[in-house]
Amino acid sequence: VNRVANLALVSCACGAVAAAYTSTKERHPCVRSVCEAAEKGVKTLTAAAVSGAQPLLTRLEPQISTANELACKGLDKLEEKLPILQQPPERVTS
């Protein structure tokens, strides 16, 4: 997940979405209230899910590690075949 998030195109897209979200919250008070309530709910649910899932994640660690290794190998091949993924968005659009 970290490797995919660090790809230039993915990182830029995430940054653009985050900027649009923040800008929308700042400009529209009603939207801000709804977003803040949703954010609080997501944080609460995430905390509960993490604490509840931790024993399962510990038990499945070998399988998760294997899946991560296979995903990284697949990403290596994808990056090799599509070097554009490593290019900054400005260069891709030009």
87 Cβ contact partners less than 8 Å away, ≥ 6 residues apart: 8, 9
Range(s) of the domain holding residue 71: 1-80
Domain membership of residue 94 (yes or no) is no
Residue 28 belongs to some domain of the structure: yes
Measured CA distances, 24 to 17, 50, 56 (Å): 11, 29, 38
pLDDT of amino acid 85: 81
Position 94 pLDDT exceeds 80: no
For 1-94, where are the alpha helices, taking DSSP H only? Answer: 2-5, 8-27, 29-59, 61-81, 89-93
- 6 located within any domain: yes
In a domain, 46, yes or no: yes
Question: Is 92 among the domain residues?
Answer: no
Number of domains the chain contains: 1
Is 87 domain-assigned?
A: no
Q: Is residue 34 part of a domain?
A: yes
- pLDDT digits 0-9 by tens, 38-63: 999 999 999 999 889 989 989 999 99
**Residue 70, domain member (yes or no):** yes
